[in-house]
Structure 1
Amino acid sequence: MNKLKRFIRDNRMLLFVLAAIYRFFGVNRIKGKRTLKVSWKGVFAYHMNVVNCGHRNKLEIEEGCRLKNTTIRFYGNNNFVKIENDCVANELEVYVQDDSNTVSIGHNTHFTGKAHLACIEGCELSIGSRCLLSSEVTFRTGDSHSILDKEGKRINYSSSISVGDHVWIGNKVIVLKGTKISDETIVGTGSIVTGKEFEGNSVIVGTPAKIIKHDVSWHHENLK
């Protein structure tokens, strides 16, 4: 099976043809595509739902991606969502609200289950390459509602989220505004990560999350 996948991946014309056939029978829907620029040649999409309520938005999905039951929603203008080549996702939801947001997912990143990515108020939400995200993970660059001090001044402005390369995020992790997770980091199950920068090659866990181990890395396989 792996040899067959490599053969298809190395023959781009065959990849494009098979992906187009797969999409044709995949019951994919794009609403508002007149004002949405979409690029998804060589993408294997099944039951994908794209909703565009805005203008000059752009969706770019690179070849080799395998997306099932994925939903992408644009509510605003001049937004950009990019998923690089060979990503895998099942039940991924990307929600973009307001103007001039960017959501990017690096190549060969895998979502193993349901995930929710919300990017609002002109922020950037970036996830690096070769990352592994377990099921029921949530990313939010903002709160979607205002919190005010006693003088009526807003105190909860949105802020960008950055996740580096080769990061492993466990089940039911929540990553909130202003978070920066560096390369080779492991985030433990059920952690809430918010508003801090974490060094690479570390393990972070807890509510709120904190570093409990340094100088570590991880591998997809159980090595002997």
Structure 2
Amino acid sequence: MKKYARAIVSLVFSFIKFSLIKIFHIKNFKFTLFNLVSPFTELEIGRKASITLGRKINIKSGTKIRARSGAEIIIGKNTFINHNCMIVSHKRISIGENVRFGPNTLIYDHDHDYQSENGFKKNLYKTTSVEIGNNVWIGANVVILRGTTIGDNCVVGAGSIIKGNYSSNQTIVQKRETTVFTHK
């Protein structure tokens, strides 16, 4: 019974929250009525930025979705975003349909431009879009960096840090060795 009560609260809360965001970002925020979004989810839309949410999106608590000035975030229908995920765009992040995110997943389409003169001071960034296909499962604690494309029907193993192009129907696992040191 608790599960259904929580779902109803999330539906009502999502509608109210999204309607208020829509008032301030009429053209730049698109959503449908049937989304389950935790009251503890943050959505931030910068100047000339946009966020588009498909139908039946489920977003758990602690998640932060931020479209910075001029950026675009698109999330396809029936996508599940687990607890404490962060999606931050300075250019464009596109997430397909039926995508599942494990907790603590981070997606960034930008890096600090530390090589430019005063790059940190001036908040300069290098940006390249991130594209995630349909029916993708992304494990817990994954970091997806700028310039990454993940094809349809892929699985990304927990704890992976990925950048690059991955074609459809692949399992992406980042293998690491564990080194053990003995203390005297």
CA distance in structure 1 between the aligned counterparts of 2:30 and 2:21, rounded to whole angstroms: 16
Structure 1 or 2: more strand by fraction: 1
**What amino acid does structure 1 have at the position aligned with 2:100?**
L
Q: Deviations over 1:111-163 (max 9, x none)?
A: 1222100001xx110110001111000000112x32216xx497962110000
Q: Name structure 2 gaps, 5 residues minimum.
A: 177-184
* TM-score after normalising by structure 1: 0.64
Give me the TM-score of the superposition, normalised by structure 2: 0.77
1:129 aligned residue: 97
> What is the aligned counterpart of 2:161 among 156, 168, 192?
192
1:141 to 89, 92, 109: 109
Which position in structure 2 is the counterpart of 1:217? none
Between 1 and 2, higher relative CO (CA 8 Å, sep ≥ 6) is seen in 2
What's the counterpart of residue 36 of structure 1? 25
Q: Is the 8 A contact 1:192 1:207 kept in 2?
A: no
Which structure 1 segments of 5+ residues have no match?
6-17, 38-56, 209-224
RMSD: 3.2
- In structure 2, the CA distance between the partners of 1:108 and 1:33, relative to structure 1 (3 Å rule), is closer
Report what 2:179 is aligned to. none
2:83 aligned residue: 113
Counting only pairs closer than 5 Å after superposition, residues 92-103 of structure 1 correspond to structure 2 as 92-99=63-70, 101-103=71-73
Identity of aligned residues (%): 19
Distance 1:36 1:156 in 2: 25
The answer to whether the aligner puts 1:89 opposite 2:55 as a matched pair is no
* In 2, Cα distance between equivalents of 1:203 and 1:162: 16
Amino acid at match of 1:85: R
